[in-house]
């Protein structure tokens, strides 16, 4: 096993109470596409290898994503949905932090999910106080009795390489 990571499960009871988006930032929100897989894979804490590349490719190809681009149209902040509709894999490039970009993506994706009838929730790694504070500030609630965990397993492939599997389950 490569790692075990405890997660907080945060839900948004009432998306209608979310604040309005900054118009400049809102105009820069778009979706990720397959040309962005490598960027996301390098930034993701579980990324950087072939199995994570395939996971990210699958999520970008099959589920809603959001990103905010710079003046050249390159993603500087992004969020993906896992295959169970939880918001996650949120990341902002260090030089673009502190501008409210992640907040804008959480608001935008929350409204989108709610409008389509999906529950609005996400997982934040315990110890990630910045993301936790952001979700709480937006009205997400945390049930301290509910914890989930990411388990990353590594297995040997027939050719001698390694393949990683990532699982999320209730603790």
Mean pLDDT, contiguous 10-residue spans, the chain (171 residues)? 73 95 94 97 87 92 96 96 92 97 98 95 91 97 77 50 50 50
pLDDT at 3: 61
Work out the number of other CB atoms within 10 angstroms of the CB of residue 28: 18
Distance of CA 47 to the CA centre of its chain: 13
pLDDT at 37: 97
pLDDT at 11: 96
pLDDT at 134: 97
pLDDT at 151: 53
Q: Which residues contact 65 (CB under 8 A, 6 or more apart)?
A: 31, 32, 59, 78, 79, 80, 81
Q: Which residues contact 25 (CB under 8 A, 6 or more apart)?
A: 68, 99, 100, 101, 104
Picking from 94, 84, 78, 96, the residue whose alpha carbon sits closest to that of residue 150 is 84
pLDDT at 5: 75
Q: How many CA atoms lie within 13 A of 56 on its CB side?
A: 26
pLDDT at 48: 84
pLDDT at 168: 53
The DSSP bridge partners found for residue 156 are 162
Q: How many CA atoms lie within 13 A of 167 on its CB side?
A: 9
Q: Using CA atoms, how far apart are residues 117 and 120, in angstroms rounded to an integer?
A: 9
pLDDT at 12: 97
The DSSP bridge partners found for residue 142 are 10
pLDDT at 162: 44
Domains and CATH numbers, the chain: 3-170 (3.40.630.30)
């Amino acid at each position: 096993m490569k790692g075990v990571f405890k997660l907080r499960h945060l839900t948004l009871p009432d998306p209608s109470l979310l604040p309005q988006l900054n118009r400049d930032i809102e105009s820069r929100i778009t979706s990720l596409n397959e040309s962005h897989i490598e960027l996301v894979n390098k930034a993701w804490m579980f990324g950087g290898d072939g199995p994570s590349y395939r996971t990210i490719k699958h999520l970008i190809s099959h589920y809603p994503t959001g990103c905010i681009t710079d003046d050249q149209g390159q993603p500087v902040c992004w969020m993906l949905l896992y295959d169970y509709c939880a918001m996650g894999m949120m990341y902002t490039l260090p030089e673009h932090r502190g501008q409210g970009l992640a907040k804008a993506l959480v608001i935008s994706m929350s409204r989108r999910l709610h409008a389509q009838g999906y529950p609005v929730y996400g997982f934040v790694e315990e110890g990630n106080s910045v993301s936790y504070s952001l979700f709480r500030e937006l009205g997400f609630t945390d049930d301290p009795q509910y914890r989930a965990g990411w388990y990353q397993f590594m297995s040997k492939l027939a050719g001698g390489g390694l393949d990683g599997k990532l699982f999320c389950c209730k603790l």
